[in-house]
């Protein structure tokens, strides 16, 4: 039996409907999964064209965002980062300048240094 919560603390709380799936099933379908979760977000998110950004998040100049994306509270996305479809940034995630992220879940308090590529990944805390 696959249980991502055994490997990533808090996975089942954030993604209760997906906790029994294999990681590759989640990342392959992350755009659709996030579209469903965006509908449940509260008013402290600005939601536009499938992109949800918490009001406390900081998005620097030149960032490219492609739906579906959720950027949670206190996140920082550095200049010229490229977040491709299907990205979830949990609380207080830092994405450095020039990073590219695709079809990935980045859990709370994670720092992605500048000029990195993260693809089809689930990165826990």
- The secondary structure of the chain in percent helix, strand, coil, rounded to multiples of 5, reads 20, 30, 50
For every one of its 125 residues, what pLDDT tens digit does the chain have, with 9 covering 90 and above?
567 777 787 888 888 888 788 899 999 999 999 999 999 998 999 999 999 999 999 999 999 999 999 999 999 999 999 999 999 999 999 999 999 999 999 999 999 999 999 999 999 76
pLDDT at 49: 96
How much is the pLDDT for 19?
79
- Give the integer Cα–Cα distance in Å for 27 and 87: 9
For residue 4, the model assigns a pLDDT of 78
Per-residue pLDDT at 12: 86
Residue 37, helix vs strand vs coil: helix
Q: How many domains does the chain have?
A: 1
Q: Which CATH number belongs to the domain containing residue 115 in this structure? A: 2.160.10
Q: What does pTM read for this prediction? A: 0.94
Q: What angle do CA 41, 125, 35 make, to 5 degrees?
A: 25
Q: Which domain holds residue 31?
A: 4-123
């Amino acid at each position: 039996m696959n249980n991502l919560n055994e490997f990533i603390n808090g996975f089942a709380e954030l993604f209760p409907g997906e906790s029994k799936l294999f990681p590759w099933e989640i990342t392959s379908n992350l755009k659709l999964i996030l579209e469903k979760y965006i509908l449940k977000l509260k008013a402290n998110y600005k939601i536009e064209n499938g992109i949800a950004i918490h009001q406390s998040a900081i998005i620097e100049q030149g960032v490219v965002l492609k739906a579906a994306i959720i950027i949670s509270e206190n996140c920082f996305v550095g200049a010229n980062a490229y977040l491709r479809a299907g990205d979830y940034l949990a609380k207080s995630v830092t994405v450095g300048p020039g990073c590219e992220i695709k079809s990935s879940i980045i859990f709370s308090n994670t720092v992605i240094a500048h000029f990195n590529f993260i693809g089809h990944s689930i990165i826990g805390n």
